[in-house]
Amino acid sequence: MKNILITGGAGFIGSHLVRHMVHKYPDYQIINLDLLTYAGNLENLKDIENLPNYTFVKADICDEAAIESVFTRFDINGVIHLAAESHVDRSITDPMSFVRTNVIGTVNLLNTAKKHWAGRDDVRFYHVSTDEVYGSLHDGGFFVETTPYDPQSPYSASKASSDHFVRAYGNTYKFPFVMSNCSNNYGPYQFPEKLLPLFIANIVKEKPLPVYGQGINVRDWLWVEDHAKAIDLIFHQGKEGETYNIGGNNEWRNIDLIHLLCKVMDKKLGRETGSAAKLITYVTDRAGHDMRYAIDASKLTNELGWEPSLQFEEGLEKTVDWYLANAEWIARVQSGAYQNYYLQQYGERY
């Protein structure tokens, strides 16, 4: 029996990973720990909430007593750490909340795991990070695992710091870890502040589509279910102390992606071609906006055999279909109504 603690498991990427692990490993006990802040939503996991190998715990990763209790209660022998504040715009207006969760929370998890795992060789700590820690690519090329860190936003600086702490624990205490840095994720259940779900909702309501600057910033897009499979693979087969980059091989300029989304939405909604594109509105660029991110995932492919399953056009169609079919989910998330529902269902445990 493996007792795997997944932090941030009610979030976008976390919920996909939790579902994947619960279904694939019925002999594992999957403990989903989430504070259920604005982006954490148990409704994302409604389909598995009653399965015998799944347990939800509401807790803050910064709460030392709460994390200690979880390790003791469940005899945790594996951690997959996704819990994080992750929205760049929010980090610009409130950097301290990112320092607290992403840095202090990570160190608290490391300390608790180190204490409970002393002398054990059947344990592993997996830290999930972002390609934003590498900064911005200006002269072509791709991020590789040895690319020097150059974070440019409070969010990426907080994630870079947590990455360094994980590696430092590995070096100082011989702490057993693996790490990954991923590109932009997309797919179902993403909180509507992010680009794709926000723009899908705005197109439906015929509201403006705010594009930063000239829209020429480039991002690599990774289907979230492919990411979950990569995490599973790295957790089980990744080499101790190694970092693996996870990318979708799908580079898009923001404005090109938005124009493609507009065409797909016009078709899905039965509107005249070009209707959605008229909603595009250029706004002042975000402070410190990195120009280009692009992942070289060849190490993960060559060593562990992982490859992305979807190209962006196919994944975008699936994403649009899901959000159009789940308009009520979007409305509940935006209103916070789902929190009231789960408060009634779970009481103090929520």
DSSP 12-42: HHHHHHHHHHHHH-TTEEEEEEE---TT--G
Give domain status of residue 327, yes or no.
no
How many distinct structural domains can be found in the chain?
1
Give domain status of residue 286, yes or no.
no
Give domain status of residue 7, yes or no.
yes
Query: Which pLDDT does position 334 carry in this prediction?
Result: 74
Q: Are 219 and 183 in contact (CB under 8 A)?
A: yes
Query: Which pLDDT does position 346 carry in this prediction?
Result: 43
Verdict on whether the full-model pTM lies above 0.85:
yes
Determine the angle formed by the axes of helices 195-205 and 327-335, rounding to 10 degrees. Answer: 110
Q: Are 330 and 201 in contact (CB under 8 A)?
A: yes
Give domain status of residue 263, yes or no.
no
CA distance 161 to 152: 12
Give domain status of residue 84, yes or no.
yes
CA distance 82 to 16: 12
CA distance 202 to 38: 20
Query: Which pLDDT does position 61 carry in this prediction?
Result: 98
**C-alpha atoms less than 13 angstroms from C-alpha of 211 in its C-beta half-sphere:** 20
Q: Any idea what the Cα angle at residue 115 is, between residues 182 and 155, rounded to 5°?
A: 30
Q: Are 128 and 180 in contact (CB under 8 A)?
A: yes
Give domain status of residue 64, yes or no.
yes
CA distance 47 to 141: 41
Q: Are 128 and 323 in contact (CB under 8 A)?
A: no
Query: Which pLDDT does position 1 carry in this prediction?
Result: 66
What pLDDT, in 10s, does the model give residues 69-115?
Answer: 999 999 999 999 999 998 888 899 999 999 999 999 999 999 999 99
Query: Which pLDDT does position 152 carry in this prediction?
Result: 92
Domain of residue 13, residue span? 2-187+222-249+291-309+337-349
Positions of the chain with pLDDT under 70: 1, 336-350
Task: Tokens for 306, please give them.
Answer: 């992982």
Query: Which pLDDT does position 348 carry in this prediction?
Result: 42
Instruction: Write out the catalytic residue numbers.
Output: 131-132, 155
Give domain status of residue 87, yes or no.
yes
How would you classify the pairing of strands 184-186 and 209-212? Answer: unpaired
What amino acid is encoded at 249 in this protein?
Answer: N
Question: Which CATH number does the domain housing residue 119 bear?
Answer: 3.40.50.720
Task: Tokens for 324, please give them.
Answer: 């159009």
Query: Which pLDDT does position 78 carry in this prediction?
Result: 98
Give domain status of residue 279, yes or no.
no
Helix or strand (DSSP H, E) at 110: helix 105-116
Query: Which pLDDT does position 336 carry in this prediction?
Result: 62
Q: Any idea what the Cα angle at residue 306 is, between residues 114 and 15, rounded to 5°?
A: 60
Q: Are 29 and 4 in contact (CB under 8 A)?
A: yes
Nearest to 269 by CA among 210, 200, 187: 200
What pLDDT, in 10s, does the model give residues 144-156?
Answer: 999 999 999 999 9
The phi and psi torsions of 155 (rounded to 5 degrees) equal: -60, -55
